[in-house]
């Protein structure tokens, strides 16, 4: 059974070990990962539905802003992570268009 007090204690003791950089890095991975499953489903013929354009625009806008922030802060980890994600997304979109 779920115990709220145990959960609060777990968060209080373990949240100190997680840095803001780790959370930012995970956020970038989740943002990139949001559009990959629908695109892969479309490529492999599992689905015929594209992600809605507004979701994609908001995700990419957020990633562009995080990329600019990383450039300003000279944060190489996020520059490499976001840049690699852009390359992977561009490759997947290229496969869709030139298939």
**What value, to the nearest 5°, has the Cα angle with vertex 45 and ends 58 and 99?**
80
Using the predicted structure, report yes or no on whether residue 42 has a pLDDT greater than 80.
Answer: yes
- 59, two tokens: 């995700």
Does 10 or 1 have the greater pLDDT score? 10
Does 46 or 52 have the greater pLDDT score? 46
Using the predicted structure, report yes or no on whether residue 18 has a pLDDT greater than 80.
Answer: no
Rounded to 5 degrees, φ, ψ at 38 are -65, -35
Cβ pair 81, 71 in contact under 8 A: no
- Write down the domain spans for the chain: 19-97
Using the predicted structure, report yes or no on whether residue 24 has a pLDDT greater than 80.
Answer: no
pLDDT at 30: 83
Q: Which residues contact 2 (CB under 8 A, 6 or more apart)?
A: none
State the pLDDT confidence band at 1, using cuts at 50, 70 and 90. Answer: low
């Amino acid at each position: 059974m779920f115990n709220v007090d145990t959960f609060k204690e777990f968060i209080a003791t373990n949240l100190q070990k997680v840095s803001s950089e780790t959370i930012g890095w995970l956020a970038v991975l989740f943002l990139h990962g949001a559009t990959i499953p629908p695109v892969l489903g479309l490529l492999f013929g599992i689905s015929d539905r594209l992600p809605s354009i507004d979701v994609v625009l908001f995700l990419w806008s957020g990633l562009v802003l995080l990329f600019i922030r990383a450039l300003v802060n000279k944060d190489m980890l996020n520059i490499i992570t976001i840049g690699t994600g852009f390359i992977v997304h561009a490759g997947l979109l290229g496969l869709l268009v030139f298939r």
